[in-house]
Structure 1
Amino acid sequence: MANPKVVICMSTYNGEKYLDQQLDSFIAQHYQNWQLIIHDDGSTDGTKAIIRRYMEQDRRIRLIQNDGHLGIKKAFLTLLSQEEGEFYAFSDQDDVWHADKLDILVQRMKREDPLVPTLIYSRYDEIDGAGNPLPASTRNAIYSTKLKDFLLINTATGCTCLLNHSLRDELIRSTHKLNYSSIHMHDWWAALVSSALGQVIFVDQELVSYRQHGNNVLGAPDRANFVKRLGRFLQFRESRIVSSGSRQARELLRLYGSELGSEQTALIQGVAALFQGWAPLKKRRFLKDNGLFIRSKFLNIETILLLWMWPSLRERIFSHYRS
């Protein structure tokens, strides 16, 4: 596998403002054996015209037609089955890839057993809407490779990820049974499945410029300042993260439970049942004993408060912020 093909999966929606910069960054990659497949989720601006213009210039770019509106989670996971390749990458419509991104991730992935489901991801830097660098966050970013950490929070940002064919196969074989409302986002789900069935690897280099602007579907997790985070905390807005983790754990057990070891199963079952019933002391002990608290004071405090809430009140909060 001297020159493996990378399939880049992109979902677009009204992305005309920044799309050409992202597409230019693909064309400028040092690693050139890639195929870009795009699902447009119903754009009403000039997004599709931009895509068609680039398709005329580069035969490696293809727009998938007639899929209709899928939503971002289903769009990305559906794209995995639309093209054969050795490796797969997710891309947003508004970032900029560093020229060495694919080369570095591909060379790292080539060192791994292709039969083991594997996801590799990297750091990113941040830019504003005009492409200017944003100051580095003063908070210590979390970059994990362990299943226990992916159960309650995602640290693998989709635009930095590379998946091997084995992981891709694991993901697409369950898509027809997947309850998309039970997963938070496609990248978190891919990292969770990979950490449970295979491995996740972190590359400690900034390989993507992640754009922060008013229309992000999701923003970078470290960008919010203290006041904003405090405001979200007081409204229990962070609850959607841990509630998503618990729902995803249940979905992981449903779809892949027969392939998990006994220790993995016990850990996942504990997270899946975290907000079911009322046993705050027992469940707090479970979190502590398994090292499931993360480096986020707000999120950890909010999780404890949620455990102490009466289940009906807790469910009303979860329903309000459910993704």
Structure 2
Amino acid sequence: MKSLVSIITPLYNSEAFILETINSVIQQSYRPWELLLIDDGSTDDTLKIIQPYLDKYSNIKLLKNKINSGAAVSRNKGIYAATGDYIAFLDADDLWKPNKLEVQIRFMETNNCDVCFSSYEHIDEAGHALNKFSKALKELSYTKLLKSNYIGNLTGIYNAKRLGKVISPNLRKRQDWLLWLAAIKKSSKPALGITESLAYYRVRKNSISANKWELIKHNYLVYHKGLGFSKMTSIYLMGVFFKEHFFVKSKQIQAKGER
């Protein structure tokens, strides 16, 4: 019997992209899975748009926050409700390739892997290719991940049957980085990366990844508030992050023709 995969997707005013995202899950060659949609107080037509899917598919479920609470609270609500052996994450504007779960679960079972991630491609808001490819490292230790977030959250999966439910600290931004740090630390084994591209990351104009100064600010909060390091240690680690992100991690992002 195949293992159940729980997929966690927070929603907030996601009407522009959510249908594509849900369809990319429905088209997965792997079964069984459950998709947990967590609405964080949407004020647009998101809930109206997803209702036909809720009516049709018993393995697509909706959870709701009482008030707008942020991505960490939404993800954690989904994690607590998940019943799968594996927990995966997919934001409401990103997409999976049809073989994503099949390739990744087979890889994890073959390699006795607790935490896994893959390469992915970048698209714009209209879904057009940006000719950029984020290449996954083949192995990722806690120490390496501490320097910069090398796991694209849309590709990450952890084995909840072995690790238990690893949750996100309650930070408004970059909480996914902290979750993967906690998962690798709990595993005591490195995360393993798949170099094949299995997903599409949508670059939004107002996203944190598109604003380098916002990225720096929130990364400092990861070190200081999320991990509890002193201000001096957090500043030192930000220096390490600068070096890693702008001189090492940038080499991971290639034009398609350079692969």
The match for 1:153 is: 148
1:15-30 alignment, distance < 5 Å: 15-30=14-29
Decide whether aligned partners of structure 1 residues 4 and 242 sit closer, same or farther in structure 2, where only a CA change above 3 A counts: same
Q: Deviations over 1:257-311 (max 9, x none)?
A: xxxxxxxxxxxxxxx246269xx9xx69xx88xx995252599xxxxxxxxxxxx
1:41-56 alignment, distance < 5 Å: 41-56=40-55
Q: CA deviation at 1:213?
A: 2.7
Decide whether aligned partners of structure 1 residues 50 and 292 sit closer, same or farther in structure 2, where only a CA change above 3 A counts: closer
The match for 1:126 is: 122
Select which of 190, 198, 210 maps to 1:207: 198
Q: Deviations over 1:99-119 (max 9, x none)?
A: 000101111122354xx8x22
The match for 1:188 is: 177
Structure 2 CA distance, aligned partners of 1:240 and 1:65?
26
Structure 2 CA distance, aligned partners of 1:119 and 1:126?
22
Structure 2 CA distance, aligned partners of 1:238 and 1:186?
14
Question: Is 1:169 aligned to 2:164, yes or no?
Answer: yes
Select which of 213, 216, 221 maps to 1:238: 216
Structure 2 gaps, min length 5: 250-259
Equivalent residue pairs, number: 245
Segment drifting more, 45-54 vs 65-74:
65-74
Structure 1 gaps, min length 5: 251-271, 300-323
Say what the alpha-carbon RMSD is for the aligned residues. Answer: 3.2
Letter in 1 for 2:120: Y
Q: What secondary structure does 1:16 align onto? A: coil
Structure 2 CA distance, aligned partners of 1:67 and 1:107?
38
Give identity over the alignment, percent: 22
Letter in 2 for 1:207: L
The match for 1:294 is: 244
Provide the TM-score with structure 2 as the length reference. Answer: 0.81
Structure 2 CA distance, aligned partners of 1:89 and 1:276?
31
Letter in 1 for 2:193: F
Q: What secondary structure does 1:63 align onto? A: strand
1:305-316 alignment, distance < 5 Å: none
Structure 1 CA distance, aligned partners of 2:47 and 2:18?
10
Provide the TM-score with structure 1 as the length reference. Answer: 0.66
Letter in 2 for 1:145: L
Structure 1 CA distance, aligned partners of 2:94 and 2:87?
17
